[in-house]
Amino acid sequence: MKPMATKIVVIIIAAAIVAPAAYFAYEYYSKSNVPSSIQPFQYIPGNSTVISTVHTNGTEYYLYMDGGSIGIVANISAISQVDPNLTASNSPAAVSGSGTAGLFSGSNVKTITYDHVTVYEIQNINVSGILQNMLNVSLKNTNTTANIFAYDTSGNFIVIGEQKAINESISAHLSSRDAVSFKGYMNDSSNISLYYRANNTIPTISYITMNSTSNKTYFNISPVNSNDLQVDKFLIQTAISNSNVSREIGNNYTITISNSQIHLNIDKGYTSLPAVLKTLNIGVI
């Protein structure tokens, strides 16, 4: 499967009720009790380009992009409580190929090791089936599959995603190069919070944060140099008028400057992370 398609399916799987693939991996894990101080950000690489928290359907997950590879940290208790009717099946037999669930029949789980950590490779996930299940449509002549990787943190979380993202998560956690310091950018009351390290693609912008509620979305944009605030504001306004953002939000926004930041407020809320990423067009999908 092409790398771009794999990125899309990782995000789609996460958006579809907190990663049904991880639900199956969960069946193979033996969990141990870990103090509540253990945070999901300890398993996110600190040099990630994108870090996001998503609260949906009473559950939450954390997405990151590191070196172009997508990973997701999901709460084990949330996955274990997922309504089986909302996933492909609540039986791990579907993973082995002996089940009848369309999404995971024919799939299997293989174990590999990275830096002494056991990683589960969930092979041949029926991507077409996931899309059909989410969109409630029949897709003709499609037989697309993907392999997703996952590992148990021996605590409260499962990390799933592309293999490189999994390896980076393990390395970051073991070497304390994690993203705990970025937790302050996230708002627990928002449907979606997002941190985007922009300076790799926008030289004058250091980072962008976003918090979206049911009917409002707030962006804070921090320039590399505060002397560039007015110029950056103009460039942002120009970019909005000539991008997907303009088609998405129209004129329902305000843009101001205060506290050495540019503030962009949109009269629209988001509950879908893929929709946000596509609107922002920040190179994730």
Q: State the pLDDT confidence band at 202, using cuts at 50, 70 and 90.
A: confident
Between residues 213 and 21, which one has the greater pLDDT?
A: 213
DSSP 45: B
- pLDDT exceeds cutoff 50 at 37: no
State the CB neighbour count (10 A cutoff) for residue 57.
Answer: 12
- Compute the distance between CA of residue 217 and CA of residue 195 in angstroms, rounded to an integer: 13
Judgement on whether residues 10 and 49 belong to the same structural domain of the protein: yes
pLDDT given for residue 124 in this prediction = 76
Any domain includes 36: yes
Any domain includes 193: no
Examine the fold and report which residue of 154, 183, 212 is the final residue of a domain before the chain moves on. Answer: 183
Burial of 51 (C-beta count, 10 Å sphere; 0-12/13-18/19+)? buried
Q: What average pLDDT does range 117-129 have in this prediction?
A: 75
pLDDT given for residue 179 in this prediction = 94
Q: What percentage of residues in the chain have a pLDDT greater than 90?
A: 15
Examine the fold and report which residue of 183, 210, 242 is the final residue of a domain before the chain moves on. Answer: 183
pLDDT given for residue 76 in this prediction = 66
Any domain includes 190: no
Judgement on whether residues 161 and 211 belong to the same structural domain of the protein: no
Which CATH number characterizes residue 205's domain? 3.30.70
Binning the chain into helix, strand and coil, the percentages to the nearest 5 are: 35, 30, 35
- pLDDT exceeds cutoff 50 at 285: no
Q: State the pLDDT confidence band at 46, using cuts at 50, 70 and 90.
A: very high
pLDDT given for residue 166 in this prediction = 93
Distant-in-sequence contacts of 127-133, Cβ < 8 A, 24+ apart: 127/1, 127/5, 127/9, 127/12, 129/88, 129/102, 129/103, 130/9, 130/12, 130/13, 130/16, 130/20, 130/103, 131/12, 133/16, 133/88, 133/102, 133/103
Q: Please state which of the ranges 11-15, 66-70, 138-142, 148-152 shows the lowest mean pLDDT.
A: 11-15
Q: What is the pLDDT of residues 67-121, one digit of tens each?
A: 788 888 887 655 544 434 333 333 333 333 333 345 555 667 778 899 988 888 8
pLDDT given for residue 35 in this prediction = 44
Any domain includes 35: yes
Q: Please state which of the ranges 12-21, 90-99, 204-213 shows the lowest mean pLDDT.
A: 90-99
pLDDT given for residue 44 in this prediction = 95
Judgement on whether residues 169 and 206 belong to the same structural domain of the protein: no
Any domain includes 100: yes
- pLDDT exceeds cutoff 70 at 36: no
Q: How many domains does the chain have?
A: 2
Judgement on whether residues 39 and 166 belong to the same structural domain of the protein: yes
Judgement on whether residues 207 and 138 belong to the same structural domain of the protein: no
Any domain includes 7: yes
Q: What average pLDDT does range 176-187 have in this prediction?
A: 90
Cα atoms in the 13 Å half-sphere on the side-chain side of 106: 12
Q: What average pLDDT does range 229-245 have in this prediction?
A: 80
Q: What is the pLDDT of residues 252-275, one digit of tens each?
A: 888 999 989 999 998 888 776 666
Any domain includes 285: no
Backbone angle region of 68, left / alpha / beta, with phi > 0 → left and psi within -120 to 50 → alpha: left
Using CA atoms, how far residue 213 sits from 1, 63, 65, 191, 261, in Å, is 35, 18, 23, 5, 21
Q: Please state which of the ranges 8-22, 166-180, 209-223 shows the lowest mean pLDDT.
A: 8-22
Judgement on whether residues 26 and 113 belong to the same structural domain of the protein: yes
**Cβ-contact 271, 264 below 8 angstroms:** no
Judgement on whether residues 138 and 25 belong to the same structural domain of the protein: yes
Judgement on whether residues 170 and 44 belong to the same structural domain of the protein: yes
Judgement on whether residues 31 and 172 belong to the same structural domain of the protein: yes
**Cβ-contact 106, 97 below 8 angstroms:** yes
For residue 222, give both structure tokens.
């921090």
Q: Which domain holds residue 78?
A: 3-183
Judgement on whether residues 203 and 77 belong to the same structural domain of the protein: no
Judgement on whether residues 141 and 258 belong to the same structural domain of the protein: no
3-state secondary structure 235-271: HHHHHHHCCHHHHHHCCCEEEEEECCEEEEEECCCCC
pLDDT given for residue 91 in this prediction = 39
- pLDDT exceeds cutoff 60 at 3: no
Examine the fold and report which residue of 117, 149, 183 is the final residue of a domain before the chain moves on. Answer: 183
**Cβ-contact 227, 219 below 8 angstroms:** no
Q: What average pLDDT does range 18-30 have in this prediction?
A: 44
pLDDT given for residue 48 in this prediction = 93
Judgement on whether residues 113 and 253 belong to the same structural domain of the protein: no
Any domain includes 124: yes
